[in-house]
Amino acid sequence: WPSIEEQNHIANEIKEDLIIKGCIEFGDGTLIPLAFKPSQKDYTNFNGRKGKYTITMFIICDHRQRICYYHAGWPGNVHNEQVFSYCKVCIKAEDHFSTGQYILTDSALTPRNFVIPQYKKAQDQTRLPSNQERFNSICAKPCVAVEHCVGMLKSRFPFLCDIWLRLTEKKK
């Protein structure tokens, strides 16, 4: 996790580039496919959205697509909000964020003092209000940056695209 000096430097660079004040990191969840069906009683929990058995990982990166934090190992059907709520960054936010600093995420996370998600349309809405659409369009570039970071991670370490690990009930 970046030091206070690094956080201030990152926040200043993001403010200059994206006109977003106080943002120090970007966060998003990703699915890591498993090559084998888990040999556990709860194997169905590992069914990801894309029809494969997966584990969920939450990644936080900076504006230069450097991973600052990750939390992995949750079954594929666990929502990003739940995974993030168990991250040290979330549990001990006071150790990771100064006043006014936050991470920017997609709409999957709940807003907190240190998390600002994009807006999501309500089911009865056809469009977001113009101020919310403008905010989301400003946030589009950083959200693409974290997606690119995940893509670079998976291309640098191809085993993350199909982990040859069989999850079993055995502790070993």
Task: Indicate the burial class of 72 (C-beta count within 10 angstroms; 0-12, 13-18, 19 or more).
Answer: middle
Number of neighbours of residue 138 by Cβ within 10 angstroms: 14
Q: Is 27 helix (H, G, I), strand (E, B) or coil?
A: strand
pLDDT of residue 122: 84
What confidence score (pLDDT) does residue 5 get? 92
Integer CA distances (angstroms), 117 to 26, 75, 126, 166, in order: 10, 23, 20, 34
The number of CA neighbours under 13 Å toward the Cβ of 123 is: 0
pLDDT tens for the chain, 172 residues long, are 999 999 999 999 988 887 888 999 999 999 999 988 888 888 888 887 777 899 999 999 998 899 999 999 898 889 999 999 999 999 999 999 999 999 999 888 999 999 999 998 888 888 898 999 988 888 888 778 889 999 999 999 988 888 887 777 776 6
pLDDT at 28: 93
